[in-house]
Amino acid sequence: MHFNIKLYNYFMNFLSIFRINNIFKLWIQTLIFLIISMIIVGGLTRLTGSGLSITQWNLFDGIIPPLNVVDWNYYFSLYKNIPQYKLINYNITLLDFKTIYLWEYFHRLLGRIIGIVYLIPLIYFIYIKKITTQNLKLFIFIFFLICLQGFLGWYMVQSGLVNDITVSHYRLSVHLVTAFIILSILVWIYLNMIRAKKNLSIFYFNSFPLKIFILLIFMQIIMGAFVSGLDAGNIYQTWPLMNGFYLPNDITFNNISIFFDFNNQSLVQFYHRNIAYVILILYFYIGITIYKKKSKNLYSPYLYLLVIIILQIILGVSTLLSGVNVIVASLHQISSIFLVIFSLNLYHSSLNNF
């Protein structure tokens, strides 16, 4: 009888742990999905020129969108006071304004949802001691990044409300990269979970070529944000050369400071193109290393990543040749999300091989 009770208790404890582990995994999966959605909606908000449509930041009042004509006219009147309206969108109708407003509204709403979906389960998992003291710092850091992301979003919007028709491309890049950092940490946590790797750090000292590879991808994301923020895709819409030249022919490279002029549309697009070439070369170098070491467990992750890289290049070139078609440009941005995820997957898989 005593043995049966012990067996029953053991079984119930096992079910409880199994259930909690599944809930925790579902929480991480949900957060990854929400962050991906946030990046996609944010990209579309930028591509549709909707980011400045809401000129105020109200943490609680902003949850409810305008519900009647009076409210819509009020927010439209606020938009009419900023340079973007006066210089570019002076002829838009209230119906047009509603479209751009709702893009920015859903972008902000997603940010609020992410904050709630992260914080409430986090408190619960800390309470039941699912998150160890060792991992607690990491999860608090993620929460700090999520809060910072909200601040950076508003800081970015502010840059386009006073003296400019668009947001600062520097602030845009910081806002975007922060989102990718949050996504990367969550993906890494998830990979640790499904592969039963406890506390495996992303800063593990092996796999140096793959570290450089991922660093270059983040540099490319920054440069992509510069291209988007400066509308640099609207010039030199040819490939592989820039209107018949390798170097942009509207820049005189007579001073080293020219190479650091990240306000120059031509230079930014040139860097964006060429970082892609470096990433591709490094990718094949990593492939040769994997083949030489006969790391068969990396063959599949490596080939999956190749598919994403080819897709990313095709979409990048198509974005230029299409005159920055919104759908194609959005797909190019979306593929960068999967480029990061599959790169992290290869890196994580390689830690026992390189």
Domain ranges of the chain: 1-199, 203-354
pLDDT above 70 (res 1): no
Cα distances from 87 to residues 155, 166, 235, 237, 263, in angstroms, run 22, 11, 21, 25, 21
Whole-number pLDDT of residue 10: 45
Q: Please compute the mean of the pLDDT values over residues 159-170 and round it to a whole number.
A: 80
Given a contact cutoff of 8 angstroms between Cβ atoms, the answer to whether 279 and 213 are in contact is: yes
Confidence of residue 165 (pLDDT cuts 50, 70, 90): confident
Indicate if the pLDDT at residue 14 is higher than 60.
no
CA 206, CA 145: separation in Å to the nearest integer?
Answer: 26
pTM surpassing 0.75? Answer: yes
Over range 56-78, report the average pLDDT: 84
Is the pLDDT at 203 greater than 60, yes or no?
A: no
CA 22/CA 15 separation, integer angstroms: 10
Report d(CA 230, CA 242) in Å as an integer: 17
Q: Let me know: does 209 contact 279? Beta carbons within 8 Å.
A: no
CA 170 to chain centre: 15
CA angle 188, 190, 192 (to 5 degrees): 70
CA–CA distance from 13 to each of 9, 70, 111, 127 (Å)? 6, 58, 36, 17
d(CA 349, CA 353): 8
Average pLDDT value for residue range 280-307: 93
